[in-house]
Chain A
């Protein structure tokens, strides 16, 4: 996902938030991963807003996408002008209402935004894990989140909510721990990557691994593979937009010039935009973490894991109430993929609502302020919202 961080014009902010960490699975009680390896200790960075009620029934877990973090809403200091990545959605009176709900957002296992990942120090060597970090899966991420929920005293979630790779985690939660999930909101997501989605991820990974500075994942003592990671991010950004949004946003307009330069500088605005996004990304994200998380997304296959290849069988154990939302211009996880999961849920007699939202901004639409999106979210979470 990209960083569409904007101040919400209407609602109020959750205000000051604090990044916390929780460390568990200390050896010898290390966490067993899907690949068979063990990992420990494991740290998860997380933030919360709102208050857990006495019955502990109002907790909502928000799952972030590929490059996101735990900072879902609010600001760290009073002078901080960069609120969390879903600030328009999460706050008092907003779509996910922090006056009613206790909202938790945690950085995923394998990432580099405060949780344990390939850039973390391996306690056995005193050096960053690099490629010795085991390959983690969406199920592993969810298992780690479950540990955090136990630590926070949240045994049943009012909702798990996620978009894109976050939606995969929400799906995994609903099928892996059906008794702990009352409802699930799945935005712009899929039960399994298409060949197209895997292809884009593979090209992005190749860009990183082809950078000589990547050095087999061992780059923490020298220069980082910034060029490779920047190109990987550029590829990602193309998949998050759409033909229409790129036409409207850039067209064939030139960047700060009246005519072609007849060299390989960035002539077009779209080139300049992608280069800017690539450069910005390398300052905050770890190249190996990008490899691990995209691999986890590619491996994710709910049908294979829980249904022996059948989507209907995969949802047979689910109990949650579902809200599935897709966006018309999303070509990374097109609507037909949402319809596949909706069909399987219906065949299992599950309570499911589905809406394909008209949006020109491609896959990233779920990160952009929309009254429709917020209204639907609030109605689904809080029941009758008729005014």
Chain B
């Protein structure tokens, strides 16, 4: 098992893993980039050419203040303006569960990139299953900390659901990793044994179907 601690680089464990998939100098688009932690890391450590999109003014302002290229807007709309293959990678980190209509977004991501990274909290984690089975309440976990009525996470996705979705929508999964992180998501480990049950998050590297 690989355990990476937070160390000095200050970004979330899942983002560290995502970053490890991005080669030096890549052109990267980060969707729902938040305060730009990952993009800043990729720009400074990987010399990546980064662009970010986020809907929140405060996040966008903070990103630009950090010297990042970031646009304020709705990711579902903004992706449409880019030419085909404008980026090497498009990253949708822990945002898929908040997307109303994921298929058009994923298709656009794959149109404008060679490969895309998608990550989301795994709804088939044993703790989630147990909570629903035993208490009868909608699960509330460190990864999904909201009540049913105030959650931005309108989609509940399991690793297995996403694999099936890939076949339905028509894209390839090039790489798949389940991870288990600590409560604050600062350090974690890759889950090799039964990730469907033991991974708190799933990370997928996806690409267009080859015709």
B150 within 8 A of partner (CB): no
For window 364-387 of A, CB contacts with B under 8 Å fall at 372, 375-376, 378-380, 382-386
Q: Are A355 and B67 in contact (CB under 8 A)?
A: no
Given A342-B71, A349-B86, A386-B40: A355 and B64 interface contact (C-beta under 8 Å): yes
Q: Are A384 and B57 in contact (CB under 8 A)?
A: no
Q: How far is the CB of A143 from chain B (nearest CB, A)?
A: 30
Chain B residues within 8 Å of A, Cβ to Cβ: 40, 44, 51, 57, 60-61, 63-73, 78, 81-83, 86
Known: A353-B69, A355-B70, A380-B67. 4 other contacts (CB 8 A): A349-B86, A354-B71, A385-B67, A386-B40
Q: Are B82 and A385 in contact (CB under 8 A)?
A: no
Q: Which of A323, A346, A347, A356 contacts B64 (CB 8 A)?
A: A323
Q: Can you give 18 contacting A-B residue pairs, CB < 8 Å?
A: A321-B69, A339-B73, A346-B71, A346-B81, A346-B82, A347-B81, A353-B68, A354-B60, A355-B61, A376-B65, A378-B65, A379-B64, A379-B67, A383-B67, A385-B66, A386-B40, A386-B65, A386-B66
- Interface SS of A by simple majority: mixed
Q: Are B66 and A356 in contact (CB under 8 A)?
A: no
Most buried by B among A351, A372, A376, A379: A379
Q: Are A379 and B71 in contact (CB under 8 A)?
A: no
> Which A residues lie within 8 Å of B61 (CB)?
355, 357, 372, 375-376
- Interface SS of B by simple majority: mixed
Q: Are A353 and B64 in contact (CB under 8 A)?
A: yes
Q: Are B66 and A353 in contact (CB under 8 A)?
A: no
Count of A residues near B, CB < 8 Å? 27
A358 within 8 A of partner (CB): yes
Q: Are A353 and B83 in contact (CB under 8 A)?
A: no
A235 within 8 A of partner (CB): no
Taken together as a complex, chains A and B put the C-alpha atoms of A357 and B62 apart, in Å, by 12
Taken together as a complex, chains A and B put the C-alpha atoms of A300 and B44 apart, in Å, by 40
